Structure 1
Amino acid sequence: MTTAVGTATTGSPARTAWLLLGVVALAWGINWPVGKAMLAYLPPIWVVALRSAVGTLALLVICLLRGRLVIPKRGDIPVILSVGVLHMTAFSALVSLGLQFVPAGRSVVLAYTTPLWVVPGAWLLLGEPLTGRRLLGVGLGLLGLLLIFNPLTFDWHAGRAVFGNGLVMLAALCWAASILYVRSHKWVTPPFELVFWQALLATVLLVPLALVHDGVPSIDWQPSLIGLLLYGGVFGIALAYWAVTTVNRMLPAATTSLGLLGVPVFGIVCSAVALGEVVSAALLGAMGLILGGILVGALGRRS
């Protein structure tokens, strides 16, 4: 993602940016129950492979219409690999596999622990200061995780549940690794122009991975499946990435980061409404601690 331009955020452009930020949070929040629902029609890796293919095609159309399709330069290759492999491929595949065993609402909370892992990673690898506020934020987030994985209530003998939760946590670590590289990357081409190539790389990797892991699927192309695929690819990938890149150019980076904390909130609500998932007090408490920890750490940054 780009570093936001620190310009004034008043007037019509600011309202547009906030509207787009809300759209992104809602679109990505809905994407979690959508991904869970698609597992009723497709094997897990095919879910993300076909969604990635739809998103790649939609991004190609957007880039052509806006005249922003470019050929990557040599200096762009590392960030294309970082985001395409770690975020769009590994994160998506691990989450989809984990969603077989974990409710969508719980998954989105675990996945959005990513900023908590970025803090110590940035200290170890990038030399960013580990301030007291950031340590407090990490501590609150870890308390939230402890609430989710309460040894007194979590069924550690349920192998599938433990495996699914572990996959989602591993996905969060992959996303954190991608963020750490993106922070240190020296940009040659603007970020949005590279999103198409990152999505294309993810599709090229996910399709053979799906063939190896799940085999050739027998797909019942019902209208509901087509609608879910179109939503995941067009709204969850193409339009969301375009919108968040636009927002990053109009609002400060910390503001954007805090706005995206709405994703797990929308994810839990949409999962409860669309899938009938039970929202327990422990899950709400864990979400409050984790998001509170991220909020504390983000407010302590000085860009």
Structure 2
Amino acid sequence: RLTPKQFGAVLLLGMTGVLGYNVAFFFGLQTVEASRAGLIIALNPVGITLLSALIGGEPLTPTRSLGVLISMIGAMLVISRGDIALLTTGIGSGELALFGCVLCWSLYSVIGRRAMLDLTPLTAVTYSATAGTLLLLPLALSHNLLQDLGSYNPAAFASVFYLAIFGTVLGFLWYYQAIRTIGTVRSGVFINFVPLFAVLFGVILLGENLSSSLIQGAILVTTGVWFTNHGTWSKQQ
């Protein structure tokens, strides 16, 4: 049974990591192309690092800052495929919504570490996901999404099931387990492996071309993750 303090924490987690993030993300994708959206989402480790230093009690060391920066550049290189033009277009409401995603996920990460001082990762994820789902329900009802369930084909249900189990339950749980074990900043920088693996699986499963930007980005992301984790890792051994 949750205490009032714990209830407030998981409610904030549901509002930021489930409600706020998803609403802002899909609103942004209505007007922003996927590649450009990916570039903005790649700023997640930067937001996590800054918020962790401001309110999370994790120091902003030069080594960590360098690692996050290198990893971010690598992720952007992979997503943009080396096309600098994606970085030079203007900012509209869609882009602002996606920056809101970054803020929501950064808050979800930092608040989550505080919440897990007296909650297990499984408890934090379960209650926050439940809270977020209940908060999303009025939006789903207002857009008649539940009434349209009968029109979805089996492939759509399979996709949703996959996202629910692997992308949400296991993904969120393992992420929180990592935060509890090695900290918010060191866990957050691994997010930049997401676009790398997305493009890599496109090469393996869909036969897409293996570009030089993927190889260069992979080297930068891996180097950045190593820098971010190496300084504190060496001290903990």
TM normalised by structure 1 equals 0.57
Question: Could you say which residue in structure 2 is the equivalent of 1:78?
Answer: 8
Tell me which moved more, 192-201 or 272-281.
272-281
Question: Could you say which residue in structure 2 is the equivalent of 1:199?
Answer: 129
Instruction: Using the TM superposition, give the Cα deviation of residue 183 of structure 1 relative to its aligned residue in structure 2, in angstroms.
Output: 3.1
When residues 134 and 242 of structure 1 are mapped into structure 2, their CA distance, relative to the original with a 3 A threshold, is: closer
Q: Is the aligned partner of 1:123 residue 2:53?
A: yes
- Spell out, residue by residue over 1:130-156, the C-alpha distance to the aligned partner (whole angstroms, 9 max, x if none): 222123234435655886599962386
Q: Percent identity?
A: 23
Q: 1:96 aligns with which of 17, 22, 26?
A: 26
Instruction: Using the TM superposition, give the Cα deviation of residue 268 of structure 1 relative to its aligned residue in structure 2, in angstroms.
Output: 2.5
Instruction: Using the TM superposition, give the Cα deviation of residue 208 of structure 1 relative to its aligned residue in structure 2, in angstroms.
Output: 1.3
How many Å separate the matches in 1 of 2:2 and 2:118?
9
Q: 1:267 aligns with which of 195, 198, 202?
A: 198
> Between Structure 1 and Structure 2, which shows a larger proportion of helix residues?
2
How many Å separate the matches in 1 of 2:222 and 2:33?
20
Question: Could you say which residue in structure 2 is the equivalent of 1:153?
Answer: 85
How many Å separate the matches in 2 of 1:165 and 1:284?
27
How many Å separate the matches in 2 of 1:279 and 1:263?
17
The DSSP-based 3-state class of the residue aligned with 1:188 is coil
Tell me which moved more, 141-150 or 198-207.
141-150
Higher relative contact order (CA 8 A, sep 6+): 1
**Aligned AA (2:163):** G
**Aligned AA (1:133):** T
Question: Could you say which residue in structure 1 is the equivalent of 2:157?
Answer: 226
When residues 135 and 185 of structure 1 are mapped into structure 2, their CA distance, relative to the original with a 3 A threshold, is: same
When residues 96 and 273 of structure 1 are mapped into structure 2, their CA distance, relative to the original with a 3 A threshold, is: farther
Contact 2:49 2:60 in 1 (8 A): yes
Q: Is the aligned partner of 1:179 residue 2:113?
A: no
RMSD: 4.0
Question: Could you say which residue in structure 2 is the equivalent of 1:9?
Answer: none
When residues 190 and 142 of structure 1 are mapped into structure 2, their CA distance, relative to the original with a 3 A threshold, is: closer
How many Å separate the matches in 2 of 1:75 and 1:245?
19
Contact 1:102 1:164 in 2 (8 A): no
Contact 1:88 1:202 in 2 (8 A): yes
Instruction: Using the TM superposition, give the Cα deviation of residue 202 of structure 1 relative to its aligned residue in structure 2, in angstroms.
Output: 0.9
Instruction: Using the TM superposition, give the Cα deviation of residue 282 of structure 1 relative to its aligned residue in structure 2, in angstroms.
Output: 5.2
Question: Could you say which residue in structure 2 is the equivalent of 1:137?
Answer: 67
TM normalised by structure 2 equals 0.70
How many Å separate the matches in 1 of 2:177 and 2:55?
29
Instruction: Using the TM superposition, give the Cα deviation of residue 199 of structure 1 relative to its aligned residue in structure 2, in angstroms.
Output: 1.0
The DSSP-based 3-state class of the residue aligned with 1:154 is helix
For structure 1, the residue ranges without an aligned partner over 5 or more in a row are 1-70
How many residues align? The count is: 226
- Spell out, residue by residue over 1:115-169, the C-alpha distance to the aligned partner (whole angstroms, 9 max, x if none): 222222222334533222123234435655886599962386687xx65454333
